[in-house]
Structure 1
């Protein structure tokens, strides 16, 4: 075995020790020790011995000189050590700030921000006030997917920087992936108008956007506001109330702000009630499925759309517009979707021999077991996937990333057909028609019912039908409520029609009776 390398550092507890350096402080301390030892020699040696070495006058002079040197050196050591400590304090403060600061946005880290918020709210319980604003950046995931995560980081930094300008003197923190927060305090009551004006100014500046890859990128955000002690004097409740206000702003269409109110809290409690009751309804089998026909140009039945209905024993009929958003928010939507699919499979034995559209949500598509769970239901019910069309709302289709396209391809390989619902609402992109492998395009009723009255609508519907024809895809006109709606949609190029003009959603028995009778009449 070779001898150990003397240049290797010694270890303490198995970890490398810091290398020792002989500094100026060390030298001064060594000199100080020597001087103190020399200065104290007369306390150790007998007087007779000292008197033979030096005179009393010389000894006194030496003592005075050594005392002066000791004071000078001690002062130098103190000055050097003070400077060294000051430097260490600066370094430690920089490290602390670095540890407590999000490197992407430059805002405070979540834990540090919330600790500061709690301290500030506690200190203003008896006087003054605190305003908290939670900022949710709209569609940041789409920016990441379309332009890359670097662009998303730029947007985060931009939003944090503008927050410091719109809310001067405020603390800015990052709560999560696409969420920032701002709080500021005052020894007086902060007027709600002051906060909302700042929110409006913030959103206006965001809309001006920033340059990413030499292109201006507009940015939108949703804001939720809560005040202490106006709404609560508890920091945790303040955070919850601001989040409830944020959800209200998002439900209102995003790109806006909302201030907490007791009504919002009542709505949140209502949501929790709906969630609890809906969970029970799924478990107890209290939901039913109705079907709305989709008709061909010749008036024959082409397919059906399955629509869930809920009649609560206490509240009566609850609209899907009320419980579907709660199901999506609470992640009950997957259980609800499986419930509907099982009911459809049971009904297929008696329904007309056409395919049935089953609605699925964005969250379900992102669920790891979504496809496996749906395929398992069909296998247990002995139903071929070709009888089922998965109808996806347009909000789910914003994502055209490779991962999402692969998920869609997996659905197609499993044997399902895919319909794009409500095309034209919100953030429609013709890029979706090109990249995503769906079979059916359902144009939203707001366009269908305005054909012939608006040149933009006419151009949009015509473009969709022409593109669909070139790509061998089917177009369904939704919201057909009158004969005129149907005629205009047909002239625009639509070949399938759905709406109350043909048939309102009805129970399985009604659909069976209606279309069995029609089939007999046609045969006669």
Structure 2
């Protein structure tokens, strides 16, 4: 007959083992959930936040300011991505998008940067980061050397900004309108929303809207800026 002490010891060992297995399973499940959560909010191509991640992170950051007026929303995209895709293929276009992500992150250190989709990016920056970006002398560009034929294709990144005034969605709409003016005119590093120039739902019709401007057709696609 087995010694009762041995039976008690065996039972205790089984309980400890079960607890250890349970803890290991919990830790593994927690890690998998964490990874799934990160992947759900991360853009696979660029490693930036995706639209869902942007909405959560930007919402949290703007809410934490308590309505402070020292934040700017910036929207950006690559001029001529469709042309790159049409001429060189989507691999070159993806390379251009990935480089745009890196270029924007480097140009606005400390800003929250996200890829909303396609070649559209969003940034949430402090006034200090915004002013440093606006003071740049050279435009922010995306470059790819993956184009067939050995061409190096580069694209000027168009940007528009609007001051955050407590409504993130409204600031994004204004920044988007300013971005299209910057895209059409090529004026400066970025354009700041102007209700008298940009397409936007305002009480008075802008004197000159982005959609009224002629499209730029003077810049070829390959080996130089695409627009």
Query: Contact (CA 8 Å) 1:109, 1:173: kept in 2 or not?
Result: yes
SS of residue paired to 1:108: coil
Query: Contact (CA 8 Å) 2:78, 2:157: kept in 1 or not?
Result: yes
State TM-score, norm by structure 1. 0.36
Instruction: Report the Cα distance in structure 1 between the residues aligned to 2:123 and 2:79, rounded to whole angstroms.
Output: 17
Query: Contact (CA 8 Å) 1:138, 1:255: kept in 2 or not?
Result: no
CA deviation string 1:162-199 (max 9, x = no partner): 22222334332222322111224xxxxx334x323235
Q: Match of 1:375?
A: none
Q: Match of 2:131?
A: 196
Q: How far off its partner does 1:323 sit?
A: 7.5
The 5-angstrom pairing of residues 343-354 of structure 1 reads none
Q: How far off its partner does 1:102 sit?
A: 2.7
Candidates 100, 116, 120, aligned match of 1:179: 120
Say yes or no: does 1:77 pair with 2:54.
no
Q: Match of 2:76?
A: 135
**Which segments of 5 or more consecutive residues in structure 1 lack a partner in the other structure?**
1-53, 185-189, 276-317, 329-392, 399-425, 430-524
Aligned pairs, how many?
218
Query: Contact (CA 8 Å) 2:182, 2:191: kept in 1 or not?
Result: yes
Query: Contact (CA 8 Å) 2:103, 2:141: kept in 1 or not?
Result: yes
Instruction: Report the Cα distance in structure 2 between the residues aligned to 1:82 and 1:203, rounded to whole angstroms.
Output: 55
Moved over 6 A (4+): none
Candidates 189, 195, 204, aligned match of 1:265: 195
Query: Contact (CA 8 Å) 1:221, 1:254: kept in 2 or not?
Result: no
Say yes or no: does 1:427 pair with 2:205.
no
Instruction: Report the Cα distance in structure 2 between the residues aligned to 1:112 and 1:270, rounded to whole angstroms.
Output: 27
Larger RCO: 1 or 2 (CA < 8 Å, sep 6+): 2
* Greater C-alpha radius of gyration: 1
State TM-score, norm by structure 2. 0.76
Candidates 234, 238, 246, aligned match of 2:179: 246
Query: Contact (CA 8 Å) 1:166, 1:199: kept in 2 or not?
Result: no
Say yes or no: does 1:210 pair with 2:151.
no
Instruction: Report the Cα distance in structure 1 between the residues aligned to 2:215 and 2:166, rounded to whole angstroms.
Output: 41
Q: How far off its partner does 1:118 sit?
A: 1.6
Judged with a 3 Å threshold, the aligned counterparts in structure 2 of structure 1 residues 195 and 253 are, in CA distance, closer, same or farther, namely same
**Which segments of 5 or more consecutive residues in structure 2 lack a partner in the other structure?**
222-227
Q: How far off its partner does 1:113 sit?
A: 1.2
CA deviation string 1:213-264 (max 9, x = no partner): 4332222011112333xxx01211221232233233234326621233xxx1
SS of residue paired to 1:101: coil
Instruction: Report the Cα distance in structure 2 between the residues aligned to 1:200 and 1:216, rounded to whole angstroms.
Output: 27
Candidates 75, 88, 92, aligned match of 2:33: 92
Q: Match of 1:223?
A: 159
Instruction: Report the Cα distance in structure 2 between the residues aligned to 1:154 and 1:90, rounded to whole angstroms.
Output: 31
> RMSD value over aligned CA atoms?
3.5
Judged with a 3 Å threshold, the aligned counterparts in structure 2 of structure 1 residues 69 and 198 are, in CA distance, closer, same or farther, namely farther
Query: Contact (CA 8 Å) 1:120, 1:130: kept in 2 or not?
Result: no
SS of residue paired to 2:47: coil
